[in-house]
Amino acid sequence: MTDSGVTRRRRRRSRRQTRVRVRRILLTGLVVVSLLLTTGGWVAFRGWQARAHLLNAAGLARELSSQVVGGDAGRAQRTLAALQEQAGAARGATGDPGWWVAQRAPYAGDDLTAVRQIAVAVDDLARLAFPTLLRIDLASLVPRQGNLDLARLRAVSAEVSAADRAVRETDARLRRVPSGRLVGQVRDALDGLRTELDRLAGLTAAADQGARLLPPLLGADGPRRYLLVSQNPAELRSTGGMFGAYAVLSAENGRIRLAEQGTSTGLGRFDPPLRVSQEMRALWSDLPGTFPADVNLSPDFPAAAALYREMVRRKTGTTVDGVLAVDPVALSYLLGVIGPVTVPGRPALAASTAVRTLLSDSYRTLGVQAQDDYFAKAAAAVFTEFFTKTADPRELLTVFNRSVTERRILFWSARPEEQRVLGNSRLTGTLPETDTVPTVGVFLNDGSGAKLGYYLRFSATLTVGDCQSDGRRELRLRVTVHSTAPKSGLDESVTGLALSGDPYTARTFVSVYTPTGGTVLGGRLDGRDTAMGSGTDRRRQVTVANVEVKPGRTRTLDVSLLTGTTASGTPELVLTPTVTPWTTQVATAPSCEQ
pLDDT tens digits, 35-90: 333 334 434 544 555 556 666 766 676 677 666 655 677 888 888 888 888 778 87
Helix axes 368-388, 328-338, angle to 10 degrees: 40
For residue 1, how many other CB atoms are within 10 A of its CB?
A: 7
Q: Is the pLDDT of residue 24 over 60?
A: no
Which CATH number is associated with domain 224-421? 3.40.630
Could you tell me how many residues make up the chain?
594
d(CA 198, CA 426) in angstroms, rounded, equals 13
Q: Is the pLDDT of residue 217 over 50?
A: yes
Every domain of the chain and the residues it spans: 26-217, 224-421, 431-587
Helix (H) or strand (E) holding 541: strand 540-549
Instruction: Please compute the mean of the pLDDT values over residues 114-135 and round it to a whole number.
Output: 76
Q: How confident is the model at residue 363 (pLDDT cuts 50, 70, 90)?
A: confident
Predicted pLDDT of residue 442: 98
Instruction: Please compute the mean of the pLDDT values over residues 432-438 and round it to a whole number.
Output: 88
d(CA 16, CA 217) in angstroms, rounded, equals 90
Peptide bond connecting 272 to the previous residue in cis, omega within 30 degrees of 0: yes
Higher pLDDT: 1 or 530? It is: 530
Indicate the DSSP class of residue 507.
E
Average pLDDT, the chain: 82
What is this structure's pTM?
A: 0.80
Q: How confident is the model at residue 260 (pLDDT cuts 50, 70, 90)?
A: confident
Lowest model confidence (mean pLDDT) among 19-28, 86-95, 418-427, 476-485: 19-28
Higher pLDDT: 143 or 422? It is: 422
Predicted pLDDT of residue 51: 59
Instruction: Please compute the mean of the pLDDT values over residues 209-217 and round it to a whole number.
Output: 81
Give per-residue pLDDT as tens, 372-409: 778 878 887 887 787 777 777 767 777 887 898 899 99
Considering Cα of 330, then 331, then 332, then 333, what sign does the dihedral take? Answer: positive
Lowest model confidence (mean pLDDT) among 132-136, 416-420, 518-522: 132-136
Higher pLDDT: 149 or 310? It is: 310
d(CA 90, CA 54) in angstroms, rounded, equals 6
Instruction: Please report, in angstroms and rounded to a whole number, the separation of the first and last CA atoms in the chain.
Output: 72
d(CA 522, CA 529) in angstroms, rounded, equals 8
**Residue 457: which residues within 8 A CB-CB, separation 6 or more?**
481, 482, 483, 484, 578, 580, 583
